[in-house]
Amino acid sequence: AAAQQPDTARLLEWSQRGLRKYPTNVELLGYAEQAYLLTGQTDSVVAVAKRLLAADPTQLDPALAAVQALATAGKMSEAAPLIE
């Protein structure tokens, strides 16, 4: 966390705090996914994308962002649940 930009670290902290209180809030989940993308936390990106899709199946952008993160990390085989 020390190497992260201060704004990114704050976004991550803020979104995590909000999700503890409102775990299915689509907007907060989107902010959390963005923070995880910015910090390179691929597994967390995927976990949040799955939560987003469960809360609102019309949210395709988060799924696509997770697939892109997996592709960048060389883990494309893990993308199937997000795009099926």
How confident is the model over 28-76, as pLDDT tens digits? 999 999 999 999 999 999 999 999 989 998 988 888 888 898 888 888 8
SS (H, E, C) 24-48: CCHHHHHHHHHHHHHHCCHHHHHHH
Beta-carbon contacts of 28 under 8 Å, excluding residues fewer than 6 positions away, are 15, 18, 19, 22
- Judge whether residue 2 has pLDDT over 80: no
The confidence score (pLDDT) of residue 33 equals 93
Higher pLDDT, 79 or 11: 11
Cβ–Cβ < 8 Å for 7, 15: no
The confidence score (pLDDT) of residue 3 equals 57
